[in-house]
Amino acid sequence: MKNTTADAPEVLLCMSTGRCGTAYLQKILSSAHFTHSLHEPSPTLASLRSCNAEIIIPAIVEKVTTMLDCQPPGTTTYAETNHCLLHRHWKYFLITLLARIDPRRKVGVVVLRRREEDVVRSRLELGHGTKYTKDGEERFRGEGWIYYPQRLGPIDDASPLDIVCGYVVSVRNHVSEFLEEYGSDDRVVIYETSLDELNDLNRVLELFDVFNLKSERSELEEIVGRKVNEREGDKTKAANHKGGISVAGEHVISATLSRISAKLAK
């Protein structure tokens, strides 16, 4: 088959809170011709948000090198559904990536959203934000990659609901900053969508058109609308853990998101 995807991005990334279909998106992208699609491969950069430049800059260079060097022969697009744009040195990551790819090619970014209350509920069901003790030190599940803004106060005083909502609002604000910075950049192609929309074959085909990706319609029909990465086993494990988990009701989650949004907007 002749490669007809010369105008497709050389690298295709994703920005999201997680728990909103990134593994599902990877399945969709894996059907694209000449595309090498991975979900959260190492190194992820996910735990480096609070690290200083001396640590994260070499990690970014390693990440970019790994992404560009790992493509199998015959592929022209590397797609990764990950959170490697969600750290404070994300601009350096993108600048480094753009400097390393073919100057005639572009970087694509899918901004993938899901109703925030559903994201929070899913993370709470997995036990994210709950406290535990290890080696005499209190920690919380998700520590390292859950970004809790310092402006919200000491994380030791925060409930799991506050921690997860703080993370979700932080990512929302981070995505807004990215869109403002790169929304009109000619070398970055951005497509905004949601998990609900990606359950519609026509929206998936639109995504492929935006990024000049090609796929067999019959193969997409086998993927679109099918649930993946529900992690029911992890949810059961979290529920059975000592102390259990507490999942707040809809109104409480909405109110907490609104309260934290207002506080971070000041």
pLDDT per position as a tens digit, 54-83: 888 898 999 999 999 998 999 999 999 988
* pLDDT grade for 3, boundaries at 50, 70 and 90: very low
pTM over 0.85, yes/no: yes
Q: Where are the domains of the chain?
A: 11-265
Mean pLDDT along residues 141-145:
82
148, amino acid identity: Y
- Average pLDDT across the chain, whole number: 88
pLDDT per position as a tens digit, 7-59: 899 999 999 999 999 999 999 999 999 999 999 998 888 766 556 778 888 98
User: Is the separation of the CB atoms in 109 and 14 below 8 Å?
Assistant: yes
The token pair at 176 is 């807004």
What share of the chain in percent tops pLDDT 90? 67
Q: Phi and psi (nearest 5°) for 213?
A: -95, 150
Least confident residue range of 51-65, 119-133, 152-166, 191-205:
51-65
Instruction: Measure the CA angle with vertex 30, ends 66 and 198; round to 5°.
Output: 120
Mean pLDDT along residues 202-217:
97
pLDDT at residue 233 tops 90: no
Q: Phi and psi (nearest 5°) for 196?
A: -60, -40
The reported pLDDT for the residue numbered 46 is 73
pLDDT per position as a tens digit, 81-97: 988 888 778 899 999 99
Pairing state between β 77-81 and 11-15: parallel
Q: Which of 128, 116, 140 is nearest to 257 (CA)?
A: 116
DSSP letter assigned to residue 48 = -
The reported pLDDT for the residue numbered 229 is 63
pLDDT at residue 105 tops 70: yes
Helix (H) or strand (E) holding 250: helix 250-265
Q: Write down the residue that tokens 């022209």 correspond to.
A: 76
Right CATH for 11-265 from 1.10.15, 3.40.50, 3.90.1520, 1.10.8: 3.40.50
